[in-house]
Homo-oligomer: A and B are copies of this chain.
């Protein structure tokens, strides 16, 4: 695989906070930049804002062309004019997470000292460790800057479901409705283990250079590609892989003892090689760590305690063939919310598409999400 130079410079829409943000680890990021996109119009009552959070490798381009890949927004199936998250009706906000690589403060951005003075080089692995709660703190600043005191809803799947939960636990008065999708209240040992494989692959790429790969304009493409390959397997189900590829051969009509014998191999390698053209390795390390750290019960004593007396209404959804964030973890969340006397509805969507189903065309899920948002809007008189 060709080791390409870092990505083209793209001017992302950003909000800059000169005062910065203090992180869970104690470090201060000053200034703080939050790259974001909005869709639709904030109403006069400022009551129709929906924050969409993004997952590990997502970005703020939720419902429009992604400028690096040229592909459509990652949740266009759900978000847009007339869609379940209706941008004709709601003011949709989506921000690149803290630690990301699409314009928000992250390892690829220029390092600053504690007084905000630029250091003339990227942060790299000097970027402090961030948590899901840190990501949410940064989003809260953006939301306030956009004039929104209370969000109609915070929604998101996978790592963004973690952000949704953190929003509701940390800023309950600012979240009228919350929809954590295909998520969990903590990252499991198996999920940490898969992340560690990806990190080990990046660390072992000599082009990673201890995180200082920007110095010679290379990227740890091989390691990052392997990290993406293993992660991608966890996003699909065995059934989906069998349905899409089975044991079908790549080109040859019989087993030929060559490289990339099976279609599933070529597919995975393609996933790896395209990923490295759009994602920064140090961001990948930073964000996977943030997911691993996530543990609501540890933060708050228990999950139920995290949501004690919450005013927020919840919609929890899981997908039957998701083995990365299995239904059992959503059920545990629902039980904790029930114990906290929170209004919560739960749906398990039957599908063979695995974890990725939350991004795909799942009409039953989309109808349920649309209904949940409509109900929240009606309750608020939006």
Give me the interface of A with B, judged by CB distance under 8 Å.
Answer: 1, 25, 128-129, 186-190, 192-194, 196-197, 200-201, 204-206, 222-223, 225-226, 229-230, 233, 236, 238, 241-242, 244-247, 255, 257, 261-262, 264-265, 268-269, 272, 289, 292-293, 295, 298, 323
Given contacts A25-B257, A188-B238, A230-B230, 20 further A-B contacts (CB under 8 A): A1-B204, A128-B257, A187-B247, A189-B247, A189-B264, A192-B264, A192-B265, A193-B268, A196-B269, A197-B268, A200-B225, A201-B201, A201-B204, A204-B205, A204-B225, A206-B206, A247-B295, A257-B289, A261-B292, A323-B323
Which residues on the B side are within 8 Å of A226 (C-beta)? 197, 200-201, 204, 226
**Closest CB of chain B to A237's CB: distance in Å?**
8
Which residues on the B side are within 8 Å of A292 (C-beta)? 261-262
Which residues on the B side are within 8 Å of A289 (C-beta)? 257, 261
Which residues on the B side are within 8 Å of A186 (C-beta)? 247
B242 touching A196, Cβ below 8 Å: no
Give the residue among A187, A255, A261, A323 with the most B Cβ atoms within 10 A: A255
Q: Which of B223, B241, B293 contacts A193 (CB 8 A)?
A: B241
A189 touching B128, Cβ below 8 Å: no
In the complex the two chains form, what is the Cα distance from A63 to B110 in whole Å? Answer: 59
Task: Kindly report which residue of chain B lies nearest to residue A263, judged by CB atoms.
Answer: B189
Given known contacts A268-B196, A293-B255, is B190 in contact with A233 (CB within 8 Å)? yes
In the complex the two chains form, what is the Cα distance from A295 to B128 in whole Å? Answer: 49
Q: Which of B189, B200, B272 contacts A238 (CB 8 A)?
A: B189
A241 touching B204, Cβ below 8 Å: no
**Closest CB of chain B to A125's CB: distance in Å?**
10
In the complex the two chains form, what is the Cα distance from A244 to B190 in whole Å? Answer: 11
B233 touching A192, Cβ below 8 Å: no
Q: Which of B128, B225, B247, B272 contacts A192 (CB 8 A)?
A: B247
In the complex the two chains form, what is the Cα distance from A230 to B231 in whole Å? Answer: 10
In the complex the two chains form, what is the Cα distance from A226 to B129 in whole Å? Answer: 24
Which residues on the B side are within 8 Å of A205 (C-beta)? 204
**Closest CB of chain B to A263's CB: distance in Å?**
9
In the complex the two chains form, what is the Cα distance from A96 to B245 in whole Å? Answer: 32
**Closest CB of chain B to A175's CB: distance in Å?**
25
In the complex the two chains form, what is the Cα distance from A259 to B10 in whole Å? Answer: 32
Task: Kindly report which residue of chain B lies nearest to residue A207, judged by CB atoms.
Answer: B206
**Closest CB of chain B to A232's CB: distance in Å?**
8
Task: Kindly report which residue of chain B lies nearest to residue A27, judged by CB atoms.
Answer: B257
- 19 A-B residue pairs with Cβ-Cβ distance under 8 Å, sorted by A, are A129-B257, A188-B242, A189-B245, A189-B264, A192-B247, A193-B229, A193-B233, A193-B264, A193-B268, A196-B229, A197-B226, A197-B230, A200-B268, A201-B201, A201-B204, A204-B205, A226-B226, A230-B230, A323-B323
Which residues on the B side are within 8 Å of A233 (C-beta)? 190, 193-194, 197
Which 3 pairs between the two chains have the least Cβ-Cβ distance? A129-B257, A204-B222, A189-B241
In the complex the two chains form, what is the Cα distance from A236 to B188 in whole Å? Answer: 14
Task: Kindly report which residue of chain B lies nearest to residue A187, judged by CB atoms.
Answer: B247
B189 touching A204, Cβ below 8 Å: no
**Closest CB of chain B to A173's CB: distance in Å?**
27
Which residues on the B side are within 8 Å of A298 (C-beta)? 247
B204 touching A238, Cβ below 8 Å: no
Which residues on the B side are within 8 Å of A236 (C-beta)? 190
